[in-house]
Amino acid sequence: MNFPARLIQLRKAADLTQQALADSASIHVNQIRRYEAGAAQPTLDALIRLAKVLHVSLDGLVFDEHERGPSD
């Protein structure tokens, strides 16, 4: 699964609208729309804020489970 699809899936699983996610992460809603459409890539700062709001690790936000390395 690519990043836009993962972001949509995580946002919906958290029962958040694009606007609610944007407000919680202090990111403009149009930027959230661009991330979900695959038209823009978030900065590291934006990824950190999105991961916190969605209660996932950065790895969980950026990579599929099978793309992550083995747990230590």
pLDDT, position 26: 98
The pLDDT-based confidence of 72 (bands split at 50, 70, 90) is very low
| 46 falls within a domain | yes
| 17 falls within a domain | yes
Q: Which domain holds residue 60?
A: 3-65
Query: Of 15, 17, 49, 53, which Cα lies nearest the Cα of 36?
Result: 17
What's the pTM value of the predicted model, to 2 decimals?
Answer: 0.88
**For the domain that residue 9 is a member of, what is the CATH number?**
1.10.260.40
Instruction: Judge whether residue 20 has pLDDT over 90.
Output: yes
Domain count for the chain, please give it.
Answer: 1
| 70 falls within a domain | no
What is the number of other CB atoms lying within 10 angstroms of the CB of residue 51? 18
pLDDT, position 69: 56
